[in-house]
Amino acid sequence: MKHSTNICFIANYSYTYLYHELAKSLRDAGIQVFWIANNRKLYNFLTARYDPESVLFISRKHFHKTNRPVADFKLHELIYGDRVLRYEPQNGLAFLQNIQRPIYDFLQHNQIRVVMGELTWAHEILIHRMCRQRPELNCSFISPHVVRIPDNRFAFFTDERQCKLLEFWHDTTCTAPLQPAKPQYLELNDEILKKGSSISGRLDRARRFFSNENMDFDDPTMLVNQWWRFASRTREEWNRLCYPLLVERTPFNAGTLKPYVFYAMHKQPESSVDVYGRYYEDQLQLIKNLWRALPQGWKLLVKEHTNAIGDRGPGFYKTLRALPNVEIIEETVNSYDIIEQAELVATVTGTVAYEAALMQVPAITFAPVFFNRINYCRQATLEDLSRNRLDAIACDLRNQPDNRLEFSDYLLRNSFEGRFYDPQTTSESLSPENVQKLSSAIARAVFKLTGANQPSGIPVPVA
């Protein structure tokens, strides 16, 4: 059967089931879906529903193959940012080298015009770079992702750091600037955290560890070494227990703490800092660098991410507390209260800078983000910190012209309504209405990238 356009989804845990529902809908638009899978369970799921020739399987067995690389894709950088391959860099190097030729041949043979997936794992970023660096493939890579604010909207990002949007310029007009509001996924994360911190949650994690439930020992995105898994899980549990007992935190009182710079911690490992924020992923060093640039009489307030308790040991916080004028704020304090009184907000790529900019509070990110388009939020480098005082950076940002309405208009005209969330945590993602919204938007993105004509009868996505 001939189809007008071939695309490829990169399977990724429970997102795969959402992609499957989208693939069924995309058939009506004349779009044939192919797959790249790295997990045996997902591979079996897909080959039971699609032609096995349309599914490429990559696994740890590629550690032991000897394929020639297609090009130089900076593999060391990819290994360093991958939360699993960093533990076994030699195997990671072999894996990323040996999967290049099978992936290249798969994309070329099937005339894949668009690849779509997350940008979390090393092999996903490798495929992105392959699409960008090998023009003969005539293939684009896009990553659909929520835009955080406003809620229940997503955009297609074209770069591997997710700061450049595929532009559509919907025929709509924004009449008022966006307002900061906590995204829905934060509430979901808090619910998961609360459940995981309970006794039953801890026992369930222990049961799954010893039973190897859901483990695929050929999956390169799973930590399969039992000792590494045991050490990692034990360390996390110990850190969670120690945090409320050993980490001294300061109650937030703006009157006694001002003036201050606010740094909001990232959960780690996490793609938002390890991938999008690469070369700025050492948050302890970042905080030290901010402290070095702190004006006299200012404080640096650091707030832990509620989902990250357990990621860092007591020694991390002890190092921070040893720095004069650094305060670790209670993690339960509403970030908006801290932002409102801040002279400057700093983060790697966090939503906290987006919220600050929408509140007209100066903010800096250490990696590029799409909301750097707001004049109150700027990407800063270590060179900026060494050459400028933080009060000067904050003053310059505060005096910028207000372009929040222009930014809001840009974002709404180049994003889509829909819940592009993990269906494991947000079952509404799989509702027929939402699948229709997402698939219509994907069809429009595919036809825009390929120059193909969208078939009549395909719904126009809601902007």
- The verdict on 428 and 385 lying in the same domain is no
CATH of residue 106's domain is: 3.40.50
Please report which confidence band the pLDDT of residue 86 belongs to, taking 50, 70 and 90 as the band edges. Answer: very high
12 burial (CB, 10 Å; 0-12 / 13-18 / 19+) is: buried
Domain edge (last residue) among 408, 425, 442: 408
Residue 457 belongs to a domain: no
- The verdict on 214 and 269 lying in the same domain is yes
pLDDT for residue 200:
76
| Residue with more model confidence, 301 or 204 | 301
Q: What is the rounded average pLDDT for all residues in the chain?
A: 93
Please report which confidence band the pLDDT of residue 2 belongs to, taking 50, 70 and 90 as the band edges. Answer: very low
Tell the residue number behind the tokens 């650094």, with chain if given.
Answer: 326
> How many angstroms separate the CA atoms of 252 and 48, rounded?
55
| Residue with more model confidence, 225 or 107 | 107
- The verdict on 419 and 403 lying in the same domain is no
pLDDT for residue 188:
66
Domain count, the chain: 2
Please report which confidence band the pLDDT of residue 150 belongs to, taking 50, 70 and 90 as the band edges. Answer: very high
- The verdict on 195 and 83 lying in the same domain is no
Please report which confidence band the pLDDT of residue 321 belongs to, taking 50, 70 and 90 as the band edges. Answer: very high
Residue 454 to residues 110, 369, 443, 445: CA-CA distances in angstroms? 21, 31, 8, 10
Q: Is the pLDDT of residue 90 over 80?
A: yes
- The verdict on 430 and 361 lying in the same domain is no
CA R_g for the chain: 23
- The verdict on 42 and 135 lying in the same domain is yes
pLDDT for residue 1:
40
> How many angstroms separate the CA atoms of 343 and 258, rounded?
8
**What mean pLDDT do residues 312-330 have?**
96
pLDDT for residue 210:
66
> How many angstroms separate the CA atoms of 254 and 240, rounded?
28
Residue pair 55/20 in contact by the 8 Å Cβ criterion: no
Among 95, 156, 155, which residue's Cα sits nearest to residue 126?
Answer: 95
Residue 347 belongs to a domain: yes
Residue 462 belongs to a domain: no
Peptide bond into 150 cis (omega under 30): yes
pLDDT for residue 382:
94
Alpha-helix runs per DSSP H in 198-277: 199-211, 226-246, 254-257, 271-274
pTM over cut 0.75: yes
One-letter amino acid of 372: N
Q: Is the pLDDT of residue 56 over 80?
A: yes
Edge to edge, the sheet with strand 416-417 lists 55-57, 31-37, 5-10, 112-116, 140-146, 153-157, 416-417
Residue 175 belongs to a domain: no
**What mean pLDDT do residues 354-366 have?**
98
Range of the domain at 207: 184-408
Residue 179 belongs to a domain: no
| Residue with more model confidence, 460 or 110 | 110
- The verdict on 210 and 319 lying in the same domain is yes
Q: Is the pLDDT of residue 434 over 60?
A: yes
- The verdict on 271 and 327 lying in the same domain is yes
> How many angstroms separate the CA atoms of 423 and 441, rounded?
18
**What mean pLDDT do residues 395-399 have?**
98
Residue 443 belongs to a domain: yes
| CA torsion angle 308 312 315 320 (round to 10) | -50
pLDDT for residue 182:
80
pLDDT tens by residue, 438-448: 999 999 999 99
Alpha-helix runs per DSSP H in 68-145: 75-81, 89-98, 100-109, 122-133
- The verdict on 399 and 432 lying in the same domain is no
Residue pair 6/53 in contact by the 8 Å Cβ criterion: no
